């Protein structure tokens, strides 16, 4: 059974992403939102995500366009970590949301 459900798991990393948001009027910092993309617009409307952190898009195009990436951990999503690692040139997340030591969501920043 999965440890999370769609975009809800990403809520735990939103405060960390907020710290990465550029100030209003600055160029946006696109985010590869992975499986949270259906919730991203709602998060923005609720004020949980800055408008300067737009969704970068899906799959490889979104990853390549992004400055930040989140990956929600499920076995069938392993390839998304690999795609981010290759595009970003690093395997090191800047934050990992965990529940009792189990990784739920990783956040990456493009160097």
Residue 2 is predicted with a pLDDT of: 54
Determine the Cα–Cα distance for residues 28 and 103; give it in Å rounded to an integer: 28
Beta-carbon contacts of residue 2 (< 8 Å; ≥ 6 apart): 74
Residue 1 is predicted with a pLDDT of: 46
Residue 29 is predicted with a pLDDT of: 98
What is the value of pTM for the model shown?
0.90
Please compute the mean of the pLDDT values over residues 4-12 and round it to a whole number: 69
Residue 99 is predicted with a pLDDT of: 87
Beta-carbon contacts of residue 47 (< 8 Å; ≥ 6 apart): none
Write out pLDDT tens, residues 42-80: 999 999 999 999 999 999 999 999 999 999 888 778 889
CA distances from 4 to 47, 54, 100 (A): 22, 23, 14
The side-by-side arrangement of strands in the sheet containing 68-72 is 31-32, 68-72, 102-109, 95-99
Mean pLDDT for the chain overall: 90
Please compute the mean of the pLDDT values over residues 11-19 and round it to a whole number: 93
């Amino acid at each position: 059974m999965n440890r999370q459900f769609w975009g809800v798991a990403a809520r735990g990393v939103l405060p960390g992403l907020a710290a990465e948001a550029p100030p209003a009027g600055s160029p946006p910092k696109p985010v590869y939102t992975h499986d949270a993309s259906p919730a991203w617009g709602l998060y923005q409307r609720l004020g949980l995500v800055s408008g300067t952190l737009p969704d970068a898009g899906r799959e490889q195009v979104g990853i390549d366009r992004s400055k930040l990436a989140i990956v929600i951990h499920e076995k069938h999503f392993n390839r998304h970590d690999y795609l981010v690692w290759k595009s970003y040139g690093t395997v090191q997340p800047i934050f990992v949301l965990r529940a009792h030591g189990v990784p739920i969501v990783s956040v990456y920043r493009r160097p």
